[in-house]
Amino acid sequence: MNLKLLFLLALGAVLVFGCSKKEEHQKLSTFISGQITVDEELDRSNDYSSIELLVSFQSQDGEARDTIFHAVTDSAGYFSGTARFDDRDIYPVIISRNRNTFGVQNMIFADGDTITFNAQLPNVSQTAEITSKENDAFRTIERLERNFNRVVQFINAGAVPADSIDIEILKWSDIYWEVFEDNSDTYAGMIAGNSSVEMLRGWNDSLMVERSEKLLESEKYLQRSSRSALLDYYAESNGLDEVLTFLNRLERLAQSENQKMNIRIDRIEILYDSSRTREANQYLDTFRETYSNNRSAMEWAENISFDLEFLTPGSPFPDFAFQTVTGDSLSAESLIGKPYLIEITRLDNFIYQQQYERTVAIHQIYNNFGLEVITVPISASQVTLEAFFSERNMFWKVVQPGSFDTDELIEKLNLTQVPTRFLVNDKGEIIRRYIGNEYDEVVRGLQQIITQND
């Protein structure tokens, strides 16, 4: 099984830290101290020494590890030390003893913050107590997220009247913004501000822009979700040149090399999606030179290079031959004359399950314009398939699990994440690829197909 497939089959969330090397950069720091004891049922000696706390990541060349934080408890279980890092973020602290890992505790590391961490082995997650300005503020965001997610579930279930949805969205955007204003100098405040901006897209774009300006004034940076919302708005209202101008501004404001790298990735992907492949390749060449020592950046560059060569908008969609669960045969050639949205996913993927009802709505609307929807489930058994559709109607073509070579499909379509969707026009040409949560833009692509067919 190839490495890409292993990545696609991972069920857990993976937090990746991929910063370019900063030889002259003054690292940020957080002081961490506390006590870790051991449950008497596990060890009655009252010797709590040699418990390790570690934050460490593979270096860019893959040959060494970059230790951000390391501390060892004394006989009473006390420890202290200073974490040194490049960016304020969430970091996973591994707690272990005698090479046995007892837990991974996420903590916010922010410059100048002081964290007190207490826990007991073996149940680290259940006994953990984290106190600091940053981590205390983040718990506010976690509570807010839980409450908002419940509201989203009500909306998706149709429990909120359609004419009240915009009121509900604007209300929650205001709540998030209040949290940002009350905690503007914390990581939690930054998350809240970005969430407020992002959810305004399409509901109140002028307020979205206004708040993004205040957020930029405070943070000098926007997270990817809010950046995407702004970039979509500028693309719709003023075109690609306005988008590129905005990205140039964001790059000038960026405080770290990692932030600049993310913005440069956005620029290349947008040029690629806009079929300006010559410019995309020029920026990609510069990107490779700048981040030649950054393994994660080079892996991204390799993937986008494949896309630029074989999967650019306007290119023929690679040929395929599938058999559906109803016994029909499907191929790229057989679909000429019909636009189609082909999605490659795991049926147990949480993102895909959340998006399913939206796909149903898209199918119901655009089926009238001849759109075919095709789902290709990878790593699915007949039992998984039947379980998934026992609670859902099968409105479109679903490929029979196991009737195709998964490794070959992953290589052919350069898949690195699921769900991945391709929108293809009636000539068999790629309109655009959509990865993971890049789903709001599908409707814009569909409108493009309808316009072409008018």
DSSP letters for 286-352: HHHHHTTT-HHHHHHHHHHHHHHHHS-TTSBPPP-EEEBTTS-EEETTTTTTS-EEEEEE-TT-HHH
Q: Which of these ranges, 200-209, 302-311, 336-345, 361-370, has the smallest mean pLDDT?
A: 302-311
Q: How far is CA 98 from CA 11, 72, 127, in A?
A: 28, 12, 20
> What average pLDDT does the segment 326-355 reach?
90
> What average pLDDT does the segment 51-56 reach?
94
Are 142 and 273 found together in one domain?
Answer: yes
Are 42 and 60 found together in one domain?
Answer: yes
What is the maximum span of the chain, computed from C-alpha positions, in angstroms? 80
Are 145 and 126 found together in one domain?
Answer: no
Q: Please give the order of strands across the beta sheet that includes 65-72.
A: 65-72, 51-58, 89-97, 100-109
CB 81 within 8 A of CB 71: yes
In the prediction, which pLDDT does 437 show?
Answer: 72
In the prediction, which pLDDT does 415 show?
Answer: 82
* Res. 180: pLDDT tops 70: yes
* Res. 1: pLDDT tops 80: no
pLDDT bin (cut points 50, 70, 90) of residue 25 is low
pLDDT bin (cut points 50, 70, 90) of residue 65 is low
Are 374 and 304 found together in one domain?
Answer: no
Are 262 and 114 found together in one domain?
Answer: no
* Res. 21: pLDDT tops 80: no
Q: Rounded CA gap, 376 and 67, in Å?
A: 41
Give the mean pLDDT of the chain. 86
In the prediction, which pLDDT does 15 show?
Answer: 32
pLDDT bin (cut points 50, 70, 90) of residue 18 is very low
Counting every residue, how long is the chain? Answer: 454
* Res. 443: pLDDT tops 80: no
Q: Considering the domain boundaries, does residue 14 fall inside one?
A: no
Last residue of a domain, one of 130, 165, 187: 130
Are 406 and 290 found together in one domain?
Answer: no
Task: Identify any residues that bridge with 101 across adjacent strands, giving them in sequence order.
Answer: 96
* More confident of the two residues 400 and 63: 400
Are 378 and 407 found together in one domain?
Answer: yes
**Tally of domains in the chain:** 3
* Res. 7: pLDDT tops 70: no
Q: What CATH code is carried by the domain that includes residue 383?
A: 3.40.30.10
Instruction: Report the number of secondary-structure helices (H) and strands (E) in the chain.
Output: 15, 15
> What average pLDDT does the segment 378-400 reach?
89
Are 197 and 151 found together in one domain?
Answer: yes
In the prediction, which pLDDT does 58 show?
Answer: 58
Q: Where in the sequence is the domain holding 221, given as residue range(s)?
A: 136-310
* Res. 216: pLDDT tops 50: yes
% pLDDT > 90, the chain: 52
Q: How far is CA 23 from CA 20, 86, 146, 257, 274, in A?
A: 10, 11, 40, 11, 35
* Res. 11: pLDDT tops 50: no
Last residue of a domain, one of 130, 153, 176: 130
Q: Considering the domain boundaries, does residue 106 fall inside one?
A: yes
* Res. 60: pLDDT tops 60: no
In the prediction, which pLDDT does 87 show?
Answer: 87
pLDDT bin (cut points 50, 70, 90) of residue 22 is very low
Q: Which of these ranges, 192-201, 245-254, 406-415, has the smallest mean pLDDT?
A: 406-415
In the prediction, which pLDDT does 92 show?
Answer: 94
Q: Considering the domain boundaries, does residue 379 fall inside one?
A: yes
* More confident of the two residues 228 and 19: 228
Residue 35: which of 79, 68, 71, 70 has the closest Cα?
Answer: 79
Residue 86: which of 25, 23, 16 has the closest Cα?
Answer: 25
Q: What CATH code is carried by the domain that includes residue 140?
A: 1.25.40
In the prediction, which pLDDT does 188 show?
Answer: 95
* Res. 29: pLDDT tops 70: yes
CB 378 within 8 A of CB 409: yes
Nearest 5°: the CA angle 85, 90, 96 is 85
pLDDT bin (cut points 50, 70, 90) of residue 12 is very low
Are 82 and 172 found together in one domain?
Answer: no
pLDDT one-digit tens code per residue, 303-314: 888 877 778 788
Are 179 and 271 found together in one domain?
Answer: yes
CB 77 within 8 A of CB 48: yes
Are 211 and 96 found together in one domain?
Answer: no
Are 193 and 304 found together in one domain?
Answer: yes
> What average pLDDT does the segment 124-144 reach?
94
pLDDT one-digit tens code per residue, 227-236: 988 998 998 8
Last residue of a domain, one of 115, 130, 145: 130
> What average pLDDT does the segment 74-94 reach?
94
Q: Considering the domain boundaries, does residue 63 fall inside one?
A: yes
Q: What CATH code is carried by the domain that includes residue 42?
A: 2.60.40.1120
pLDDT one-digit tens code per residue, 347-379: 988 888 888 888 898 888 888 888 999 999 988
